[in-house]
Structure 1
Amino acid sequence: MLNITRCAWLVAAACALPGHAAMTIQPDPELAGGYVIAQADVEAQAQAKTANPMYALWSKALATRSNTIVEAIYPRAASNPDNVKRVERVFPESEWDFLTQMAAPEYTYERFLRAVGKFPAFCGEYTDGRDADAICKKSIITAFAHFAQETGGHIAKENVSDNPLALEEWQQALVHVREMGWAEGQLGYTTGCGQNDWQNKKWPCASGQGYFGRGAKQLSYHFNYGAFSEAMFDGDASVLLNNPGLVADSWLNLASAIWFFLTPQAPKPAMLHVIDRTWVPSQREQDAGIGYGFGTTINVINGGIECGEQNKDKGQPVNRIRYWEGLAAHYQIPVASDEKNTCWQQTPYGSLNLNGATDVLYTNWDGNWKYYPDRPGGYSFECELVGFQTAYSALVPGDYQKCVTNFYGSHANWPKVRIVAELTPPTDPSTPPVGGVAAWSATQVYVAGDKVSFQGALYQAKWWTQGNEPGQGDPWALIPAS
């Protein structure tokens, strides 16, 4: 248990413990029992913890264009963004029509192009020699294989009464825009709404709204609607929480699927980065059979139910693989020798304990509960990356600061923290520094080896101390003048 009272009012400079960066923490003059930290210190912490280049790549993949630009996208428009023009080239409207002959009318090629246009990274350019057109085509065909499972007709080719055009099942994607059995006005999938937890503080359910599956990915539950709304509407979760039907009746019905396609769910990679090989599987993942290929995208989507030896002959993964193989053959998508279409040989991500793995990156912040003897109450006043969902994402600017200040109250018993532009460290002007060494402060924490100036002399701390005046013996040792 942390000793909260011992250091409740100190100012801590974290410079003596190995493995954590210097950070000055001062009592908050505006809030009793609270603390203030400099903005620069917090930003430095966040940057140090996300220094791996993958974090920048993930953030870039989730970058979005304004909805004003998106809603000006039309097929064959000269003003269309470059990634939209690539899609029109490698997957023209005629191919869309070929794969959507059973589709609900809410799914259109124009809406597909707008969904693509929202995310510049989908079918975007590569500057390192990778074939952007080939990756784009493979991404679209992979998405359609999953669409065929998630929202497809699943009608046998031989069933001429229900399938008079004798369409292949992989041609039957996007039949359902809403989850079967649900309609607007019904309060489906409201489990968890109204609870006093961080999810409801961040993504509060709206009265009278249901969060059942909608769109190409069948987006479900309020926390997914809220997170998707933030991506679509400049951080505003309320838009889709208040009007979830937009995920069925606008271009968001396809954008939701592309958003999922681009979003890593640590430790699961983004599907795009499996396809374009930006992701490199860790050793633990390789040992669990997880590598490149369509099978890993199944693990990303629904591995707990569809992957592993026990699910080898299960309907859902068998369908997905069959649809992928039919589409890949029709569109002549090359499959590399190290790619597997199946995931029965893989451990589902939900069963794979990757916590603590040094070669696995995580994308959510949570409070760092390690004990720091040189900081107030032993608290870290930092957040760390964790392998489970939290209120704070490492891919969302400003979320590290929200985590440190516990914006959504998700860290029980976390100190009250306020971030300020600058700190003014307390000093005693009556004791000027000696030899450039800062004056002793009654509110400063010192650890073994720290030096201070006091009444014209230099002292060195022999152990942890705070409030003990130098010159009185323990815990200070006088440094003889040279």
Structure 2
Amino acid sequence: MFKLKLVSVLIGSLVSANCLAMTAQIDPDNPNGYIVSRGQINAAQDAKTPNPMYDIWAKALETRANNIVEAISPGATTNPANVQRVERVFPQSEWNFLTQMAAPEYTYTRFLQAIGKFSAFCGDYTDGRNADAICKKSIVTAFAHFSQETGGHIAKTNTSDNPNGLEEWQQALVHVREMGWSEGQPGYTTGCGQNDWQNKRWPCAQNQGYFGRGAKQLSYHFNYGMFSEVMFDGDATVLLNNPGLVADSWLNLASAIWFFLTPQAPKPAMLHVIDRTWVPSQREQDAGIGYGFGTTINVINGGIECGAQNKTKGQPVNRIRYWEGLAHFYNVPVETDEENTCWQQTPYGSLNLNGATDVLYTNWDGNWKYYADRPGGFSFECELVGFQTAYSALVPGDYGKCVTNFYGSHASWPTIRVVDEDLTPPPVETPPVGGIAPWIATKVYVKGDKASVTVNGTTTHFEAKWWTQGDAPANGGPWKQIP
């Protein structure tokens, strides 16, 4: 059994270690704002995400251009390597075998295109793991969930509705739209129009419905917006304005692959549960969460389907039946440390991770701690948090957007502008008087810095009580007189 070893990084130690020297300065173009250098922003982000898992997670979400994806077709020699692997381990004959009841919008070509968008799905491994076996297990896992989310659920013995006697795990992808909904129906607009960061980033379009579509039944405007950004180079409006594409194009399967690859910290990506890139934290292990199909249920819908109270509930029982039937048919091995069930697990939504030092988070929020040596006591930094925000640690540039409050989601946060120039003050050449250099109006002083002021031949020494720039020492305020 292969188990990937990763460097362990303690979040608690990161917090204390990340008190960086931020030399924020008054913005010359905005006297009520501040500027920080891009170098400081990048250094702060790197200091907070040293664990290699961040790079692994981000790489799993890398995408190919849509013109490459739309050129993919079964058997094409130009197909990307991960698509060719899928064609080898799961050829069209197997697709046809599992989709005999499927809606016509789901095709093998679109399945390959959806996979082709993400190079990490059925991708290569360079550390001894069997990429073909992981690919096969990933597809079987996906189909077990498809069978629950969009399946027919018709008993094999029901010959009137199931004349071919198909197993329920052969009835995936029957629905491309949520039952009872059709295009042109506004709906699932909870939260639309509110003055919050979600609506600033993913504004609802008028007369559009964000009901469930596709193999994973993508729902709600914020999920359509997030998915659209991934599919269309950061443009959320494509699917917010035309959500029907998630039903009528290869996006109906790509939405499920995207979900399969995306960690929702502290929940891992399903791929990384399957290929064991993820290593469960001690809190997760104590909560019964480890490797196996059961954890993928917890990732998808743990609050409703996991825990002892849901042991006999229909949804998880179905998923497990479908997984076991598919795994048996396709000879997918189940390791001795893997559990197919999640009734013995604490749902992720109920898992108390406060104080955990071996859980990695993937969202940025403002660091609200007070810093006496910085203007206004603001940190001018963001920190990792265990809840969803407008900014992801896996998306390039989002840390800088968090610091500059790009979506206006930080109440009372100062106006911050990032500049490319180095803001490190130049060395002071003026000879010190009594060992203390003269005060310079344009220089940034932090708590403990000293300056001297000479008036009519008399020199007085001062020490800064907190961050200051441009405040004359003789006026007091941030300065105190010292011998």
- Tell me, yes or no, whether TM beats 0.5: yes
Preserved CA contact (<8 Å) 2:18 2:47: no
Deviations 1:435-481 (A, max 9, x none): 99976434633323x456877999784854744649x9x84657xxx
Question: In the superposition, relative to structure 1, how do residues 308 and 432 fare at CA in structure 2: closer, same or farther (>3 Å)?
Answer: same
Tell me the equivalent position of 1:167: 166
Query: Aligned residue for 1:391?
Result: 390
Which residue in the other structure is 1:379 paired with?
A: 378
Q: Gaps (5+ residues) in structure 2?
A: 1-15
Alignment partner, residue 188 of structure 1: 187
**What SS does the corresponding residue of 1:332 show, helix, strand or coil?**
coil
Q: Deviations over 1:267-311 (max 9, x none)?
A: 000000000000000000000000000000000000000000000
- Check the 8 A contact 1:363/1:387 in 2, yes or no: yes
CA distance in structure 2 between the partners assigned to 1:303 and 1:421 by the alignment? 45
CA distance in 2, matches of 1:173, 1:437: 77
What one-letter code is carried by the residue in structure 1 that aligns with 2:414?
Answer: P
Say whether 1:37 aligns with 2:36.
Answer: yes
Residue of structure 1 equivalent to 2:74: 75
Query: Quick one: structure 1 residues 20 and 140, their matched pair in 2 at CA, closer, same or farther if it must change by over 3 Å?
Result: same
What residue number does 1:59 align with?
58
Deviation at 1:369, TM superposition (A): 0.7
Give the letter aligned to residue 85 of structure 2: R
Relative to structure 1, the CA distance from residue 32 to residue 166 in structure 2 (aligned partners, 3 Å threshold; closer, same or farther) is: same
One-letter code of the match for 1:231?
A: V
TM-score when normalising by structure 1: 0.90
Note if 1:216 corresponds to 2:206: no
Cα drift, residue 361 of structure 1: 0.5
CA distance change for structure 1 residues 301 and 436 in 2, over 3 Å: closer, same or farther? farther
Measure, in 2, the Cα distance between the counterparts of 1:93 and 1:393: 36
**What does the per-residue CA deviation read over 1:141-172, in whole Å, with 9 as the maximum and x for residues that have no partner?**
00000000000000000000000000000000
Instruction: Find the aligned partners of 1:434 and 1:254 in 2 and give their Cα distance.
Output: 72
* Shift in Å, 1:32: 2.8
Asked if 1:447 corresponds to 2:462, the answer is no
| Aligned-pair CA distance for 1:236 | 0.5
Q: Which residue of 2 aligns with 1:337?
A: 336
1:290 counterpart SS class: coil
Asked if the contact 2:188–2:210 (Cα under 8 Å) also holds between the matched residues in 1, the reply is: yes
Q: Select between 42-51 and 156-165 the one with higher mean Cα deviation.
A: 42-51
For the residues of structure 1 that align with 2:308 and 2:437, how far apart are their CA atoms? 65
Secondary structure at 1:34 match in 2: strand
Q: Is the CA contact 1:465–1:475 (under 8 Å) kept in the aligned structure 2? A: no
- Report the aligned-residue RMSD: 2.4
In structure 2, what is the equivalent of residue 290 of structure 1? 289
Please, which moves more after superposition, 63-72 or 431-440? 431-440
Q: How many residues align?
A: 459
TM-score by length of structure 2 reads 0.90
Q: Which residue of 2 aligns with 1:408?
A: 407
Once the two structures are overlaid, the 10-residue window that deviates more, 438-447 or 200-209, is 438-447
Asked if the contact 2:22/2:374 (under 8 Å) is kept, the reply is no
Alignment of 1:272-291 (within 5 A): 272-291=271-290
Determine if contact 2:60/2:119 at 8 Å carries over to the other structure.
yes
Where 2:24 maps in the other structure, the secondary structure is strand
The one-letter code matched in structure 1 to 2:107 is T
Verify the 8 A CA contact 1:468 1:475 in the aligned structure 2.
no
CA deviations 1:67-95 (Å, max 9, x no partner) are 01001100000000000000000000000
The Cα of 1:424 is off from its aligned counterpart by 5.0
Contact 1:369 1:379 (8 Å CA) reproduced: yes
Asked if the contact 1:152/1:176 (under 8 Å) is kept, the reply is yes
d(CA) in 1 for partners of 2:217 and 2:103? 14
Match of 2:367 in 1: 368
Give, as a single letter, the amino acid of the residue that structure 2 aligns with 1:447: K
Secondary structure at 1:329's aligned position in 2? Answer: helix
Q: Distance in 2 between matches of 1:66 and 1:216?
A: 22
Cα deviation 1:340-395 (Å, max 9, x = unaligned): 00000000000012133210001111111111111111111111111111111111
Partner of 1:14: none
1:155 equivalent in alignment to 2:150 = no
Task: Give distance in 2, aligned partners of 1:114 and 1:462.
Answer: 61
Q: For 1:441, give the aligned amino acid.
A: I
> 1:315 and 1:283 mapped to 2: Cα distance?
30
Tell me the SS of whatever aligns to 1:24.
coil
Letter of the 2:336 counterpart: S
1:327 and 2:329 aligned = no
Residue identity over aligned pairs, in percent, reads 76
Cα pair 1:215 1:256 within 8 Å, conserved = yes
